[in-house]
């Protein structure tokens, strides 16, 4: 049975609803609307250093933010559906979304295996997704700047490697003190975060299958070792992520180290 019973199921359902609604708002470029819907949580978090609101107010703020997010999503969807469809448009094939679903499954399994041993590491990863998204956007801008500053493909490849390394370092370095503060194993957390961020970077540039296959292979190997109780035991997760990161980085440089991808 699930530890915590009904309250845990309700919390998971509420979080799933929020993630789905927030995803819709982000896809529709309604980030400011999402930020406004989260105002109750932002206000509640702002007063925590000086005042403990208690469980009822904490729960109420979360439910109010969830309700506002769902209402905002409904409003945004009504506006989007009211616009006439583009002439000659075709519905995307379902199979095109398959690698994204497989990556989501792999990422969920990897995070789940980390969360079984280090629950607070999952919180750190969740909070880090905000800076991670910003760095994905920043990578694109820095790559365009590198393209303008170089005259040869080899020169751009070197600058592209520097941009990738800089963005990856900017994402991972703050996670190091966070790992120590939460008692999580730094190596595992950083390798898992690097795996997820690099895979998301490839997806942001429209490349879905390679990161999905690499992450799914890492998740399958780590999961099989964990379920069957095979050696090396708990060390399998950092080992699998440690193998996935170089593969993802190498493919990223192979693909995004070409000027044509940023022209």
Positions in the chain whose pLDDT score sits under 70? 1-6, 8, 88-89
| 188 and 255 inside one domain | yes
The answer to the question of residue 100 being in a domain is no
| 143 and 44 inside one domain | no
Count of domains in the chain?
2
**Burial (CB count <10 Å: 0-12, 13-18, 19+), residue 48:** exposed
| 235 and 137 inside one domain | yes
List the domain range (segments joined by +) for residue 4: 1-82
Q: How many residues make up the chain in this entry?
A: 263
| 28 and 148 inside one domain | no
| 239 and 164 inside one domain | yes
| 52 and 110 inside one domain | no
233-261 confidence digits (pLDDT tens): 889 999 999 999 999 999 999 999 999 88
| 128 and 189 inside one domain | yes
| CA–CA gap between residue 171 and residue 156 (Å, rounded) | 22
CB of 162 within 8 A of CB of 179? Answer: no
The answer to the question of residue 207 being in a domain is yes
| 48 and 127 inside one domain | no
What confidence score (pLDDT) does residue 6 get?
67
| CA–CA gap between residue 100 and residue 258 (Å, rounded) | 24
| 144 and 193 inside one domain | yes
What confidence score (pLDDT) does residue 18 get?
86
What confidence score (pLDDT) does residue 1 get?
42
CB of 57 within 8 A of CB of 43? Answer: no
With b for 16 or more beta-carbon neighbours within 10 A and e for fewer, the 131-143 pattern comes to ebeebbebbbebb
| 111 and 53 inside one domain | no
The answer to the question of residue 59 being in a domain is yes
The answer to the question of residue 88 being in a domain is no
Contacts of 222 (CB under 8 A, 6+ apart): 109, 110, 113, 236, 237, 239, 240, 241
| CA–CA gap between residue 146 and residue 155 (Å, rounded) | 9
Contacts of 226 (CB under 8 A, 6+ apart): 113, 236, 237
| CA–CA gap between residue 26 and residue 47 (Å, rounded) | 27
């Amino acid at each position: 049975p699930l530890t915590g019973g009904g309250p845990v199921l309700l919390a998971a359902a509420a979080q799933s609803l929020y993630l789905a609604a927030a995803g819709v708002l982000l896809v529709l470029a309604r980030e400011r609307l999402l930020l406004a819907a989260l105002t109750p949580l932002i206000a509640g978090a702002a007063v925590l250093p000086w005042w403990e609101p208690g469980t009822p107010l904490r729960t109420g703020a979360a439910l109010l933010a969830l309700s506002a997010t769902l209402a905002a999503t409904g409003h945004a969807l009504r506006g989007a559906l009211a616009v006439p469809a583009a002439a000659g448009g075709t519905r995307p094939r379902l199979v095109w979304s398959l690698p994204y679903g497989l990556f989501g499954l792999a990422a969920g399994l990897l995070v789940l295996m980390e969360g079984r041993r280090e629950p607070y590491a999952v919180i750190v990863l969740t909070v880090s997704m905000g800076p991670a998204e910003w760095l994905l956007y920043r990578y694109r801008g820095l790559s365009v700047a590198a393209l303008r500053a170089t005259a040869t493909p080899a020169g751009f490849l070197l600058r592209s490697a520097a941009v990738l390394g800089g963005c990856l370092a900017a994402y991972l370095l703050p996670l190091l003190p966070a790992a120590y503060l939460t008692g999580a194993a730094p190596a595992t957390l950083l390798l898992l975060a690097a795996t997820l961020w690099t895979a998301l970077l490839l997806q942001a540039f429209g490349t879905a299958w390679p990161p999905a296959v690499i992450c799914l292979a890492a998740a399958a190997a780590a999961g099989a070792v964990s379920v069957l109780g095979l050696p090396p035991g708990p060390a399998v997760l950092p080992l699998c992520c440690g193998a996935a990161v170089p593969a993802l980085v190498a493919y990223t440089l192979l693909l995004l180290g070409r000027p044509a991808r940023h022209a």
